[in-house]
Amino acid sequence: MRLSNIKLQTWRLSVFGISIFIAALRAELPVLAATSDEKIFRVPASRLQNHSQEQLAVDLRRGIGPDDAATIALYSNPALRAIRDRRRLAVAQLIQAGILPNPVVSYARDFVTGGSTAGTRDGYSFSAGWEFSALIPFLPKQTAARKNFQSVDLDVAWQEWQIAVNARTAVYRVLGLDAQVGRAREATGGLEQSAEAMRKAVDAHEKTVLDLSAAESASQESRATMLGLEQEFEKQRLGLNRILGAEPEIRIALRAGLTLPVRLEPPDERKLISDLESRRLDLLGLQRGFESQDATVRAAILAQFPKMSVALTKATDTTNVKTTGFNIAVDVPIFDRNQGVIATERATRQRLRDEYNQRVFEARSDIAAAIADVRSLNRQIAAAEEALPLLEKLVSSAQTAVEQRNADVLSYYTARSNLLQKRIQLIKLQEQLLEAHTVLEIASGRYLPMNRALQPR
């Protein structure tokens, strides 16, 4: 469902292991820009935190934040349609597992066509049978299909979680690049004015051509940096549109006042690891998948039991002698004892067990690495913030020295370039801090709303 044709309706999404209800969507959105008065829909914030009763309002008129982007992506991302279709296949397999084989009914007719036909009549035979050995692996097959459905359902929820987190990350990147572009434009504008003033000074024989070359070089370098950042910003803006299911030409406004955080405190590592297996949806899905495969192995073992069918028969021959009886058919397992299927299913079960253990190990390692990255970036941001006032003071001192003819122009523009690079570096570090925090969310399976964390303090 695209953002261009959302209708008033109730929508239920299975995500993060809980249900989401978009119960009052009061808008038709021909475009993301506000074109009518009703542009707000609400979902329970419990989709973010299990114990929160706060309502999260998405108001397109005032722009969106990271949690808003996650909500919109869950509703309108086109990729989620194909992902959710997997549930239908699992439902079909569950239905199939509950179906028993059909009974077999046969009828034959013998026509008298020649020979000594005196006192004869046409004969017939009728039988009705059923393969009752299908009942033996019936319950394990149903269990396997039911567990498989639960596994697929959890995996779909995990994919929805990934889409939501990626939508938030897209907002972080757009926000960070917007700040970088703003800094670069500010610096480029100042340098262009300085270069123009230098040209006039050279024409008036107050400055040298060397001074003009230094000013123009600094201006061109700053402009190149600005153009590169603008290109990256446009790329990230289109990425945000794509994950939200919006057309490329739509300009999605971010909420005013959002700022990049300078410090984020990660949760306690032991708490994140202690209940990891019961919280991460992909791990829960693998558990259900293993249980499904274990039931499949049991069904394959039970399928070694010989196929047997029983049938009731009724017949008459051409002399009008009528008979009634039964027929039992047994498949003698001499060569095929289902050993190949059993070996395959056991190997698949072992693969799932090993994959589960590997993913648990990787998740714990990722949590530790993400927490270390967050703490390291906190320190780097603090150091960059401490360096900024020194660089600003250096630029101011260099400017005063140039005006008093106590320093060369090249050192002044070098100081200005260093200040711009340090400001951009600080913004990149803040963006990396948010991305490290996102990695921690994915690794731990815990969703942490960030709208408030991005508000100016």
Find where tokens 């079960």 sit. 349
Structural domain contains residue 132: no
Angle between helices 138-203 and 281-302 (to 10 degrees): 150
Instruction: Output 339 or 452, whichever has higher pLDDT.
Output: 339
Find where tokens 């590169």 sit. 228
Structural domain contains residue 379: yes
Angle between helices 138-203 and 409-444 (to 10 degrees): 170
Residues contacting residue 186 through CB under 8 Å, at least 6 positions apart: none
pLDDT in tens, 294-347: 999 999 999 888 888 999 999 998 888 889 998 898 888 888 888 999 999 999
Buried b (16+ CB within 10 A) or exposed e, 411-449: ebbbbbbebbebbbbbbbbbbbbbbbbbbbbbbbbbbbb
Burial of 82 by CB count in 10 Å (0-12 exposed, 13-18 middle, 19+ buried)?
A: exposed
**Rounded Cα gap, residues 244 and 76, in angstroms:** 6
pLDDT at 11 over 80: no
pLDDT in tens, 70-88: 888 888 888 888 888 888 8
Burial of 324 by CB count in 10 Å (0-12 exposed, 13-18 middle, 19+ buried)?
A: exposed
Q: What local confidence, expressed as pLDDT, does residue 41 receive?
A: 37
Residues contacting residue 274 through CB under 8 Å, at least 6 positions apart: none
Burial of 13 by CB count in 10 Å (0-12 exposed, 13-18 middle, 19+ buried)?
A: buried
Structural domain contains residue 299: no
Cβ–Cβ < 8 Å for 70, 171: no
| CA-wise closest residue to 94 among 148, 135, 156 | 148
Structural domain contains residue 319: no
**Rounded Cα gap, residues 17 and 158, in angstroms:** 8
**Rounded Cα gap, residues 400 and 455, in angstroms:** 37
Residue ranges of alpha helices (H) inside 317-338 are none
Residues of the domain holding 434: 11-90+142-290+343-444
DSSP labels, 188-199: HHHHHHHHHHHH
Q: What local confidence, expressed as pLDDT, does residue 56 receive?
A: 55
Q: What local confidence, expressed as pLDDT, does residue 21 receive?
A: 30
Neighbouring CB atoms inside 10 A of 171's CB total: 28
pLDDT at 358 over 70: yes
pLDDT band for position 31 (cuts 50, 70, 90): very low
Lowest mean pLDDT among 16-30, 132-146, 169-183, 335-349: 16-30
Helix (H) or strand (E) holding 310: strand 308-316
In order of 173, 187, 210, 400, the CA distances from 410 in angstroms are 34, 16, 9, 14
* Total of domains in the chain: 1
Structural domain contains residue 328: no
Q: Collapse the DSSP code of 102 into the 3-class scheme (helix H, G, I; strand E, B; otherwise coil) and give the result.
A: coil
Structural domain contains residue 304: no
Cβ–Cβ < 8 Å for 130, 106: no
**Rounded Cα gap, residues 71 and 48, in angstroms:** 10
What CATH number does residue 274 fall under?
1.20.1600.10
Burial of 188 by CB count in 10 Å (0-12 exposed, 13-18 middle, 19+ buried)?
A: buried
pLDDT at 20 over 60: no
pLDDT at 386 over 50: yes
Instruction: Output 161 or 350, whichever has higher pLDDT.
Output: 350
Structural domain contains residue 73: yes
Average pLDDT over residues 429-433: 92
**Rounded Cα gap, residues 350 and 356, in angstroms:** 10
Lowest mean pLDDT among 36-50, 176-190, 273-287, 367-381: 36-50
Q: What local confidence, expressed as pLDDT, does residue 457 receive?
A: 44
pLDDT at 210 over 90: no
Structural domain contains residue 222: yes
pLDDT band for position 23 (cuts 50, 70, 90): very low
